[in-house]
Structure 1
Amino acid sequence: MSSEEVRLAAGDVELTVNPANGCRISSLRIGGTELLRQGEKYGCFPMVPWCGRIEHGQFRNGGERHQMPLNSPPHAIHGTGRDTAWRTARAGRSEAAFTYDLVDPWPYTGKVTQLFELTEDSVTLTLGVETYDNSFPAQAGWHPWFNRSLGEGGEGVAIAFTPEWQEERGDDHLPTGRRIEPLPGPWDDCFGMPDGVDVTLTWPGQLELAVKSRAEWVVVYDEQAAAVCVEPQSGPPNGLNALPRLVTPIDPLEIATTWSWRRL
């Protein structure tokens, strides 16, 4: 069981996972070109046991109210998994598995597992949340920071997707509960894709990358100059309150996403 970086390879594709820093993908290089924004807070981190913001950091499970740390005041954001050191359960040449136990400040016991499976033209990520005892609401997803441009002089990435609706965003950055017609970007918004997440990123003349998942929710964030984010997740922001999905001893939560690419 090690917390050292794990490097996976398939052909000329290299993926690096840093279990000590929230089990995030710290690097994804295709033919020597880095796709992910570099830095301790970037790469691609898992959002677990919740995604996006929880209103004022509070959620209920039945009659119990719980308070999470306000790491993005006045809300709690993106879960605790990204701030946790994970254990390397196994690591091969092109696949690896990592786990961590849910502990304070999360009020319930359980285990989170993240799997990586790399090929020459895709990577599949899988997150699982299971309980050791009581049932509890949870969410899981990913927050990748894709570089807006791939190398100096490269054109900026184009984002293409066809959501069925957009969650109206209030002044507090939380969904209001209303579904509206999708608006043009820039975005920091959640969209509904009931047939599954399907978003294509195109760096003209360089690479096309498709982000797909059977999950029905995706947040797209492209308000920064350096990177864009396409975040498949199991529920909308504040979903622990608005659309709770219970993890029970016989019904764990599992979500997967596949990124596949072709060179242009």
Structure 2
Amino acid sequence: MPLRLDDELTSLTLAPELGGSIAKWTVKATGQALLRNSDQHALAAGTARRLACYPLAPWSNRIAHGGFDCPDGWFALAANSATDPLPIHGSAWQQPWQVIEHTPRQICLQLDSQLPFAYRAQQRFRLIDGRLNIELTVTHLAPRAAWHGLGLHPYFPRTPHTTLCAAAQQIWQCDESRLSTELSALPAGWDFEQACRLPSELVDNAFTGWNGHCRITQADAGYQLDCHASGVDYYILYCPVGQDFFCFEPVSHPTNAHHLPGRPGLHLLQQGQSIDMQFSMQYRALR
């Protein structure tokens, strides 16, 4: 049986066995997909990266050099995706999660992971009046301290008329491996302080100086999502060329922060210490 939450306006379906992912979030009256809809082919593929949203823990995006340094030594990492030569998005999205609570208004999933070190992750989903709230908490369980980051990776429908409003101050430029290299001013067409359409060129960059607010307007489909994040200061915008989706990822740190000066946005956690974030998306029909 699908794992579902329903409120008066929307319906949420989860796939805990596929990385603790969201399979679909839709408007009940019309069936309109508010996140990328996971059909049976996507579910049968057996990977969170074909679904609507998945958690990022214990880090977001890519890490270079085969691992990262911690106070007690080096944590070696291997590539974990057939489509990327670098370790990407942590390990939570590649493991089955357990349902530890399911009430009419909320579901809590939990993962006890040993990869790449011991940690526990929890996701709590709440749905009320068209508002989906996701709380992600990660607790370090290994004896050796380690650097942690976290985030969420939602996929949104994209049409030529989709607009984004999400003010930021700077962007991390990337090299050909999509690793962050240096901070710069926002390029022309990449300033979303005022709502504007998505760039036609490839974007796969971390934006910093974000206040946590975001609005995605889908005029063709007659709705908007008013979003808010806490516990994270960055977002990664991924706009692949020629696709019918884009990703707006609230994250704690830029790509490859483990190897950037000062490790921006990462947290060195001792055994038993935790970090958390929240991300909410409020559905509103356009008149």
User: What is the TM-score with the length of structure 1 in the denominator?
Assistant: 0.89
- Distance in 1 (CA, whole Å) between partners of 2:185 and 2:280 is 27
Post-superposition CA distance 1:130-163 (Å, at most 9, x none): 12243211111111111114xxxxx641122221
Question: 1:20 is paired with a residue of what secondary structure?
Answer: coil
Tell me the CA shift for residue 95 of structure 1.
0.5
| Matched-pair contact (CA < 8 Å) for 2:141–2:271 | yes
1:1-264 mapped onto 2 (5 Å cutoff)? 5-30=2-27, 31=29, 32-37=31-36, 38=38, 39-40=42-43, 41-70=50-79, 71=81, 72-104=83-115, 106=116, 108-134=117-143, 135-149=145-159, 156-184=161-189, 185=199, 186=201, 187-194=203-210, 196-204=211-219, 206-214=222-230, 215-224=232-241, 225-242=243-260, 243=263, 244-249=266-271, 251-264=273-286
Question: 2:17 is paired with a residue of what secondary structure?
Answer: helix
Q: Which residue of 1 aligns with 2:194?
A: none
Runs of 5+ consecutive residues of structure 2 not aligned to the other structure: 44-49, 190-198
| Matched-pair contact (CA < 8 Å) for 2:169–2:185 | no
Residues paired across the two proteins, number: 253
- Distance in 2 (CA, whole Å) between partners of 1:73 and 1:11 is 41
User: Quick one: which amino acid aligns to residue 228 of structure 1?
Assistant: F
| Matched-pair contact (CA < 8 Å) for 1:159–1:199 | yes
Question: 2:171 is paired with a residue of what secondary structure?
Answer: strand
- Distance in 2 (CA, whole Å) between partners of 1:62 and 1:177 is 25
| C-alpha distance 164-89 of structure 1, shift in aligned 2 (>3 A) | same
- Distance in 2 (CA, whole Å) between partners of 1:99 and 1:183 is 42
Tell me the CA shift for residue 250 of structure 1.
5.6
| Matched-pair contact (CA < 8 Å) for 1:121–1:260 | yes
- Distance in 2 (CA, whole Å) between partners of 1:219 and 1:207 is 23
Tell me the CA shift for residue 57 of structure 1.
3.6
Q: Which residue of 2 aligns with 1:152?
A: none
User: Quick one: which amino acid aligns to residue 258 of structure 1?
Assistant: S
| Matched-pair contact (CA < 8 Å) for 1:139–1:240 | no
Post-superposition CA distance 1:232-253 (Å, at most 9, x none): 0111111233323112246411
Greater displacement, 246-255 / 224-233: 246-255
User: Quick one: which amino acid aligns to residue 231 of structure 1?
Assistant: E
Question: 2:259 is paired with a residue of what secondary structure?
Answer: helix
User: What is the TM-score with the length of structure 2 in the denominator?
Assistant: 0.82
Tell me the CA shift for residue 103 of structure 1.
1.2
Please report the RMSD computed on the Cα atoms of aligned residues, expressed in angstroms.
Answer: 1.8
User: Quick one: which amino acid aligns to residue 129 of structure 2?
Assistant: E
Post-superposition CA distance 1:154-196 (Å, at most 9, x none): x6411222211111112221110333334423421110134x3
Post-superposition CA distance 1:61-90 (Å, at most 9, x none): 125222222125431111111110000010
- Distance in 1 (CA, whole Å) between partners of 2:272 and 2:185 is 35
